[in-house]
Amino acid sequence: MAKILMPLGDATEVLDTMYAFFRFQEEDWEVVVAGPEARLYHMVLHEIPPRADPPWDITQESPGYHIEATIAFRDVKPEEYAALFVSGGRAPEYLRYDQDLLAITRHFFETGKPVAALCHGIEILTAADCVRNRRVTTVAKCAADAWQGGAEYLDQPLVEDENLVTARTWHDNAPLLKAFVKNIHAWLESA
């Protein structure tokens, strides 16, 4: 059974995470949730409130569900995993400083294994120096993270660049997961 690694932390976005979490299970793949520690994490909902008065310029954050990380980043053996899925929310803002997670992330790029990231997930890929000379998309407010990491930012629902697929927000989950699942199947067939 293929194992898919899903790193996250407190304030991971619910729809970024859970759509993929269950989609991978539909393929009979094992989803392994990792965090700074093996423990329960708080997820959040991010949305620009419709018809708010006064209007919001950025997303409003609300409490969401919880998810259990069964392994700490320091204990992950990345060679045991077929793919890496990096969700968004605010979690990547602090996870990008975790050196164990950055080493894990680099492993997937060095080996050419499938990687997917959406929304703020780009912050982890940039911190690991894995998007240089790549084409990516992300939520518009993280475009500077892509540029600072040496990537070409494209404002479109999905960008595919070799082993990497990126999307803007949870609104783009369907095309992101369709492309990513296809990449994982191709990787598994070639391995």
Residues annotated as catalytic are 120
Q: Is 51 in a helix, a strand, or coil?
A: coil
Measured CA to CA in angstroms, residue 127 lies from 37, 72, 103 at distances of 20, 19, 10
- Distance between alpha carbon 130 and the CA centroid of its chain, in Å? 13
The token pair that represents 6 in the structure block: 């899903």
User: DSSP per residue over 115-149, as a string?
Assistant: EEEEGGGHHHHHHTT--TT-EE---GGGHHHHHHT
Q: Are 61 and 16 in contact (CB under 8 A)?
A: no
Cβ(73)–Cβ(100) below 8 Å:
yes
